[in-house]
Amino acid sequence: MSIIDTTLLNCQNDQFSLPEGLHYLNCATRAPLSQVVEQAGYEAIRRETNPFGLRPDDFFSGAIRVRELFSELINNPDPDRVAVIPSVSYGMAVVARNLPNKPGIRRGQTILLVGAEFPSDVYAWDEVCRELGLQIRTIDMPTEFPKGPLWNEQILDAIGPDTALVVVPPVHWMYGIRFDLETIAQRVREVGAWLAIDGTQAVGALPFSLATIRPDALICAGYKWLMGPYSMGLAYYGSAFDDGIPLEESWMNRLDSNLFHRLTDYQPAYRPKAYRYNVGEHTHFVLMPMLEAALTQLLNWTPERIQAYDQELMKDAWPALEKLGCRVEPINSNQGRSCHLVGLWLPDHADPMAVQQALLARKVSVSARARVLRIAPHLYNTPDDVDALVGVLTEVL
């Protein structure tokens, strides 16, 4: 096991090209590309101008390295269980496609979701529910504060013998409330259900140990906290999917597909483990080097140090905003709020969209989601960014 560097990071603003005077506290919408990732993209495009000398193995080598880096980030001992996907919807569709083959699946069972979940984690189950006679059960967020402990308790209480699948993130994408995945996963295994995790709004900024949680699937878009390009994602699929059905039949996913002189010796066998779930043309000659650079940089920063930086950066802002009538979920281990994505509940009289527009007018970028402002800082943010946020909210509220 590698030793985690817990030294507090300094601000990494000089590693990004964000314009002067812009206060971007919105990594949960899309991460800005660092200069290292930007440069990797430029170099990849230059290579594309002259494909002379391209070898068959070059279609596969970039993804091999990215699987290794992602596996290190999530503490996954087996990189062959990682597939390259284009989106969360694609990754969840793989789970839905294979749910009919789950041992013990039967009509009347439920798929358990958390309330106000991201649409890609909701729409994925419509067809399979009709096909198998399953039902969706949604555990809504409690109305009272603190919300995290009670929400976690209600999820655990809802998992039983009639549960076929639980879909839960490490952190709620709107509210920043954490879910106790280790305890939830243990309960899921006890009842024989599957666990699918959308890690998009956590993995890369919040420590995650796949070896400890042991989900059946972990699915991450690459353009948020993995700090990579859009239209790239990564998914872990456990042993339940080893003999499963892929969404598409890519030639690259078959055995010996790097032997171009034998491609018409059609191969019925897939490469092992998660390889069959790779999206077609998963080489991504431009995007893959960018994702590799992003993951390499993240492993240097570490999610532990990103959390610590964000906590220190924002520690004085939350009490100041609470004095204005706002509410934030307290930090409460793995059942409280995260530090990289925080839902700020505005006073009842405030219109979240109007407040967001007032912030944008002063070049402060956050997201309005339902009754909250979603505030998502990262290493490129400075105390000036926090002061700008608090200053505008003080004027508006």
- pLDDT tens for each residue of 151-166: 999 999 999 999 999 9
If one looks up domain 58-298 in CATH, what number appears? 3.40.640.10
Return the minimum-mean-pLDDT range out of 4-8, 18-22, 121-125, 205-209. 4-8
Of 7, 44, 108, 24, nearest to 293 (Cα)?
44
- pLDDT tens for each residue of 12-57: 999 999 999 999 999 999 999 999 999 999 999 999 999 999 999 9
Residue 8 has a pLDDT of: 87
Question: With 80 as the cut, is the pLDDT of residue 391 above it?
Answer: yes
- pLDDT tens for each residue of 153-199: 999 999 999 999 999 999 999 999 999 999 999 999 999 999 999 99
For domain 13-34+302-396, give the CATH superfamily: Aspartate Aminotransferase, domain 1 (3.90.1150.10)
Report d(CA 208, CA 213) in Å as an integer.
8
Report d(CA 32, CA 38) in Å as an integer.
10
- 350-to-126, 343, 356, 373 alpha-carbon distances in Å: 35, 15, 11, 11
Question: With 60 as the cut, is the pLDDT of residue 387 above it?
Answer: yes
- pLDDT tens for each residue of 292-333: 999 999 999 999 999 999 999 999 999 999 999 999 999 999
Of 246, 394, 256, nearest to 235 (Cα)?
246
Percent of the chain exceeding pLDDT 70 equals 98
The rounded Cα 305 to chain-centroid distance in angstroms is: 18
- pLDDT tens for each residue of 248-299: 999 999 999 999 999 999 999 999 999 999 999 999 999 999 999 999 999 9
Q: Cis (ω within 30 of 0) for the bond into 103?
A: no
Q: Which residues contact 101 (CB under 8 A, 6 or more apart)?
A: 244, 245
What token pair was written down for 106? 């039967």
Q: Average of pLDDT values for 210-218?
A: 98
pTM (two decimals)? 0.97
102 close to 188: Cβ distance less than 8 angstroms: no
Residue 1 has a pLDDT of: 43
Q: Enumerate the H helices of the chain as residue ranges.
A: 35-48, 58-74, 88-98, 120-123, 126-132, 148-158, 181-191, 210-213, 287-301, 303-314, 317-322, 352-361, 383-396
The rounded Cα 97 to chain-centroid distance in angstroms is: 21
Q: Where are the domains of the chain?
A: 13-34+302-396, 58-298
Question: With 50 as the cut, is the pLDDT of residue 225 above it?
Answer: yes
Q: Average of pLDDT values for 369-392?
A: 97
Render 321-334 in DSSP notation, one character per residue.
HHTTT-B-PPPBTB
